[in-house]
Amino acid sequence: MSGQERIVIVGAGPAGFSAARAYREADGAAEVLMLAAEAHHPYSRPPLTKEYLRSEHGRADLFMEDPGFYAEHGIELRTQTAAAELDIARRVIHTDSGEELGFGSCVLATGSEPVRLPVPGGDHDDLITVRELEDSERLQSQAAPGAAVTVVGSGFIGCEAAASLAMRGADVSVLATAWPEYRALTAAQVRGAMKQARVIDPTHFLAAGLANDPTIAYVAAGRAA
């Protein structure tokens, strides 16, 4: 099959994976090539701050399909291969290794990136921004019982990570500049774990409000009751 008929999917997260699978399920017959910047076949990120971070699930549980799925469905998956340049006029993609790949159709499924800490020192190697499988593993290896961990960000993922780290026995602080999204933590056990985290609220305002919540208690810069 010529490159003119090939479908190239850039990005092998859930969106790229779903596009490839749906195309095959709809009996699409063109060559399908997925380019994955990461080293893994498609996996699910939500467990990275939940079951996987708490070591309740293993690596194999993260993957959307077994490694054999791709060849069985005629999907070529190239890991550690990023699209570096897209030439729409010529319908060609250049990979970061210098390869040129023709395509008939191209699906861009490159996802999104977390905001890196925009402060001096925010790019220090010791800071872990949780986005990829390895980030969660690095956090697991450092969050031993009693280890001091500070979570920056009190959105859904920050609260989830704080709760999971507390459940691992780490001594957790959460830097919160907005109302912590702990209500989105549906599992009672996980919500309860947030009680072990101290929330450091620079304005001391939010923490006072949270102290009235019947299910969870926060104090500014101190241990929750």
Ligand X SMILES: Cc1cc2nc3c(=O)[nH]c(=O)nc-3n(C[C@H](O)[C@H](O)[C@H](O)COP(=O)(O)OP(=O)(O)OC[C@H]3O[C@@H](n4cnc5c(N)ncnc54)[C@H](O)[C@@H]3O)c2cc1C
**Alpha-carbon dihedral of residues 139, 144, 145, 147, nearest 10 degrees?**
-70
Query: Is position 110 an interface residue for ligand X (rule: CB under 6 A)?
Result: yes
Closer residue to ligand X (CB): 13 or 180: 13
Per the DSSP assignment, residues forming a β-bridge with 63 are 43
Among 30, 64, 82, 217, binds ligand X (CB under 6 A): 82
Closer residue to ligand X (CB): 82 or 175: 82
Query: Is position 157 an interface residue for ligand X (rule: CB under 6 A)?
Result: yes
Q: Rounded to an integer, what is the distance from CA 31 to the centroid of its chain?
A: 29
Give min distance, CB of 68 to ligand X, in A: 20
For residue 152, give both structure tokens: 């920056």
Query: Is position 104 an interface residue for ligand X (rule: CB under 6 A)?
Result: no
Give min distance, CB of 201 to ligand X, in A: 23
Identity of the amino acid at 5: E
Query: Is position 131 an interface residue for ligand X (rule: CB under 6 A)?
Result: yes
Binding mask 183-202 for ligand X (x = CB under 6 A): --------------------
Q: Is 108 helix (H, G, I), strand (E, B) or coil?
A: strand
- HSE value, Cβ hemisphere, 13 Å, CA-based, for 177: 2
Q: Which one, of 96, 97, 93, lies nearest residue 3 by Cα?
A: 93
Residue with tokens 């800071």, as numbered in its chain: 127
Closer residue to ligand X (CB): 162 or 220: 162
Query: Is position 158 an interface residue for ligand X (rule: CB under 6 A)?
Result: no
Give min distance, CB of 37 to ligand X, in A: 3
Closer residue to ligand X (CB): 134 or 171: 134
8 Å CB contact between 31 and 8: no
CA distance 202 to 154: 13
The site for ligand X (CB under 6 A) is made up of 10-16, 35-38, 45-46, 48-49, 82-83, 109-112, 130-131, 157
